[in-house]
A = this chain, B = another copy of it.
Amino acid sequence: MRFTNQSIRQLIEKYREISHLNKISALLSWDLNVNLPQKATESRSAQIASLTGIITDRWLDTGFRTLLDVAIQQQEHFSPEERAAVRNLEHAGKYYYRIPKDLIVEFSKATTESFMAWQEAKQHDDFDSFRPHLEKVVRMNCLIADHLTYKDNRYDALLDLYEPNLTAAKCSPIFDALTGPLRDLIKTVQNSAHFRETPRYVGEPYHYPAKQQKQLAYFILRTMGYDLKAGRMDVSAHPFTIDMHRADVRITTRYNVHDLRESLMAAIHESGHALYEQGVSPVYDDTPLAGGVSLGIHESQSRFWENQVGRSPQFISFIAPVLRAFFPNELGDTKIDDLVKMINHVVPSVTRVEADEVTYNLHIALRYELENGLINEKIAVDDLPALWREKMKQYLGVEPKTDREGVLQDVHWSYGSFGYFPTYTLGNLYAAQFTKKMREALPVDELISRGELGTILSWLRDNIHKHGSLYWPDKLVQHVTGESLNPAYLIEYLQKKYTELYEVDVKK
């Protein structure tokens, strides 16, 4: 235990119970997504609500709050780790201290209802039935943002919940810097002689048995260094990573028998998240410094492994023999170049979760602009479907035929999350910037070619993972790369990779 100050030790001792309850809550969610019998949704919701109430009460407990207030006042005498712990508690505590408990409870109910309405609405492609729920959830988010307070932009109060210190003033220039070059790159790729609308080895005639996909996923997990004695892999509708402790970090996947890429990329992506959690220093267990620091940094780890490693020609060449051996009928005769093209297939589409590296961030730019407008009451929920179609055409040159493929496609807004989407793009940017730095220290391509991923993992552990939530994102990026976030690295990486792959010149 590195916390020596008496009052902070007491505070952290009290926090330990909150941490246990948070992790129990995580288990309830994991189980809900992986195991829950169909008829048990209502009883599970009631159990989660009871636990949420207890966690809220623990934050509001006067003894705890007094200790936190004392620690805030005394923090100048603390060690850097102690100060970081206080900072994280103050940041997380904002949610409980600034927002009235009634609003938290009402919001939790409203978003549960909204989520269920969204499921129905998406299924029946019926935005109108979802609209009143979305309107309510947006209104409540505005109210929550006002309670949380902000300087320049109401949306900042929400962004900060997912990525400490993130503001629209930081996001907007990033998206401005990205959209032009990405749109140009897409056009370049589309004009290439090698451009195809649909990838090879994917779709109905091809059949990749789930059993082999599972074996392949485990091979990937082991190769990446995911500790299966401190985690497990299950199946869920949408892949995710969740931890009940550093020693219990679980991932999920899903199998599409017609498209091998889904489970392959899910395994690599989710393991990327899991490796981060498994790699945090054990001395931080159940303290405010435990776990990954923010959604953006978390996404940088999943995207690093998914894109910089998993989609690299070097990695694909390393696993090519395994793919051919597992799926002899489908891929037995493929050349490495065929596999690289399948896995790096670029095509503008209407669906975010199916998007490739080049088009992905334009999906996020669209959502960012709409969220910013909604929370600042410059866009009405009523106008969303049309605006969505318009911006899709503008950014990606495609138009969703239905709202199901358009404004209804993502779950996030339905459960009340505004400010989450930008962290996906931040993740991509951080990943590119970290990689650039890593390449100065390690022969990355060579290591990947030989499947020696342990050296890469060690670099991530030393530079990022072990710190847990010690450094906030701004400082961590500075600490690791010596400069602040710079979108140029992602643009440079994508331009180089995809002009080579599609054998074209960059349009500047």
* Chain A residues close to B by CB (< 8 Å): 16-17, 20-21, 23-24, 27-28, 31, 35-40, 42-44, 46-47, 50-51, 53-54, 227-232, 244-248, 250, 285-286
Interface of A is mostly: helix
Bound together, the chains give a CA A39 to CA B228 distance in angstroms of 9
A24 to B246, CA, bound (A): 21
Q: Which of B40, B54, B227 contacts A244, CB < 8 Å?
A: B40
Q: Which residues of B contact A36 (CB under 8 A)?
A: 248
Asked if B247 and A39 make an inter-chain contact with CB atoms under 8 angstroms apart, the answer reads yes
Min distance, Cβ A496 to any Cβ of chain B, angstroms: 40
**Cβ of B285 and Cβ of A39 under 8 Å apart?**
no
- Docked complex Cα distance between A286 and B42 (Å): 12
Q: Is the CB of A47 within 8 A of B23?
A: yes
Q: Is the CB of A245 within 8 A of B35?
A: no
Q: Which residues of B lie under 8 Å from residue A35 when comparing CB positions?
A: 232
Seed contacts A37-B250, A38-B230, A43-B244; 14 additional CB < 8 Å A-B pairs: A17-B53, A20-B47, A20-B51, A23-B43, A24-B28, A27-B28, A35-B232, A37-B248, A39-B248, A40-B244, A40-B247, A40-B248, A43-B245, A43-B247
Q: In whole Å, how far is A8's beta carbon from the nearest beta carbon of chain B?
A: 20
Closest 7 CB pairs of A and B: A43-B245, A40-B248, A20-B50, A39-B247, A38-B229, A39-B230, A40-B247
Per the bound structure, the CA–CA distance linking A50 and B232 in Å amounts to: 24
| Closest B residue by C-beta to A248 | B40
User: Is A37 a contact partner of B285 (Cβ separation < 8 A)?
Assistant: no
B28 touches A46 (CB 8 A): no
Cα–Cα distance between A229 and B41 once the two chains are bound (Å)? 11
Closest residue to A58 on the B side, CB-wise? B54
Q: Give the residue of B47, B229, B248 whose beta carbon is less than 8 angstroms from that of A24.
A: B47
Question: What are 25 A-B pairs with beta-carbon distances under 8 A?
Answer: A17-B50, A20-B46, A20-B50, A20-B51, A23-B43, A23-B47, A24-B47, A24-B50, A24-B51, A31-B31, A35-B232, A36-B248, A37-B231, A37-B232, A37-B248, A37-B250, A38-B230, A39-B227, A40-B245, A42-B247, A43-B245, A43-B246, A43-B248, A46-B286, A47-B245
